[in-house]
Amino acid sequence: MLPAAEGDALWIEYGDPQDPYRVLIDGGVWATHKAIREKLDAIEGKRRFELIVVTHVDNDHIDGMAKLLANDQHLDVGDFWFNAWDQLKAVDALGDKQGEILSYRIAEWSLPHNRRAEGSAIGLPRDEAERLPCYQFDGGLQVTVVGPPYRELQRLRRDWKRTIEKLKLRPGDKRTAEKLIEDQKKYQPDRLGGEPNLKTWAARKFEDDGSVPNASSISLLAEYKGRSFLFTGDATSASLVDGLDRLKKERGLTRIRVDALKVPHHGSKNNLSTEVMKRLSCENFLISTNGSKFDHPDDDAIARIITGSKNPKLYFNYFSPDNQKWANKRWQRKHKYRTVYPRELETGEHEEGIRVEFPAASG
């Protein structure tokens, strides 16, 4: 989990540690492009990604990628998943200026855009009787799309159109992106408290995040050699429940077992619901945020994780005022959970970003 401030930038490696396959999910805030570049510069040989995903158009997921691609990074990409205006044309019913810029850059560098979906949007089939999209990638990785639902792509298309037309521009037009890049030069080249009552916190009234961009987040179940990981972007509870219920039915499961969940929307209480937790069996939870903008993660969301799973392990990519309370050893013994933070430096401060490793499943 790269340092992405309040956002996400997930660098995934699998296979031979000396010559791994790579996936990148989201680019974080604008400054995150520096951390991604450092990782790229450290690669000896071909800088290859089997898959790059920008889950949705919120700044803390798209900004760093828009800046990264301002310069030709000489990337070899198997597929680049991002639901931009052209991919949403087939949706009947569209997110932001950065979305126009990113889709322009994808085309500029001739990157394969949603190739696995034949150029259409990455999301759930409109017909609920259809199987969920499932794709195989080199090295043995399987990725099943579990969101967003078709209705959320419809809402995104409408919002996208409204946002761009307010600027007196046309969505999906090359000149629109060029004008936006000209106007926004940054895209040009170069709390601690008392003892927690977790049951009370977990049971607080849940209000689903109504954000159109968040509900349109691409959510993925990645499976490799007996391991499985659910990456959710900023997905809403309702959109996740839709996809997870369809996956359960498709695979004949009562709960979906995953080795790790990238907690949606940085641990927001309005995205991780008890309904999502009821559909999963998971022990490892990845929380990507420094809490600087919205004070994430929320206590309610962490409480739902701890009370809704067995001996959970919480991974944070920052040590922040909003998450350090969970380091309390007495709380951990009492409530049977563990925490993992970035390494503490000699100065007493902590590194930013964290590496999480999962060995291949035995047998």
Q: Does residue 233 sit within a domain?
A: yes
Is residue 49 within 8 A of residue 39, CB to CB? The reply is no
HEC profile of the chain: CCCCCCCCCEEEEECCCCCCEEEEECCCCCCHHHHHHHHHHCCCCCCEECEEECCCCCHHHHHHHHHHCCCCCCCEECCEECCCHHHHCCCCCCCCHHHHHHHHHHHHCCCCECHHHCCCCCCCCCCCCCCCCEEEECCCEEEEEEECCHHHHHHHHHHHHHHHHHCCCCCCCHHHHHHHHHHCHHHCCCCCCCCCCHHHHHCCCCCCCCCHHHHCCCEEEEEECCEEEEECCCCCHHHHHHHHHHHHHHHCCCCEECCEEECHHHHCCCCCCHHHHHCEECCEEEECCCCCCCCCCCHHHHHHHHHCCCCCEEEECCCCCCCHHHHCHHHHHHHCCEEECCCECCCCCECCCCCCCCCCCCC
Averaged pLDDT, groups of 10, the chain, 363 residues long: 95 94 96 93 90 94 91 84 82 63 89 94 94 96 96 89 85 82 69 66 88 94 96 96 97 97 96 97 97 88 96 96 91 95 91 92 70
Domain range for 188 is 10-340
Dmax over CA atoms of the chain, in Å, equals 59
Q: Does residue 298 sit within a domain?
A: yes
Query: In the prediction, which pLDDT does 90 show?
Result: 57
Query: In the prediction, which pLDDT does 216 show?
Result: 95
Q: Does residue 322 sit within a domain?
A: yes
Alpha carbon 149 to its chain centroid, in Å, reads 16
Q: Does residue 266 sit within a domain?
A: yes
> Model confidence over 194-215: pLDDT tens digits?
566 788 888 888 989 889 999 9
User: Which of 237, 219, 238, 239 shows the shortest CA–CA distance to 229?
Assistant: 219
CATH number, domain with residue 182: 3.60.15
What pTM, to 2 d.p., does this model score?
0.71
Query: In the prediction, which pLDDT does 260 show?
Result: 98
Q: Does residue 350 sit within a domain?
A: no
Angle between helices 59-68 and 97-108 (to 10 degrees): 30
Query: In the prediction, which pLDDT does 93 show?
Result: 41
> Model confidence over 214-249: pLDDT tens digits?
999 999 999 999 999 999 999 999 999 999 999 999
Q: Does residue 352 sit within a domain?
A: no
DSSP β-ladder status, 21-25 and 10-14: antiparallel
Q: Does residue 236 sit within a domain?
A: yes
Q: Does residue 2 sit within a domain?
A: no
Q: How many domains does the chain have?
A: 1
Cα–Cα distance list, 7 to 52, 209, 236, 283 (Å): 16, 16, 16, 22
Query: In the prediction, which pLDDT does 172 show?
Result: 82
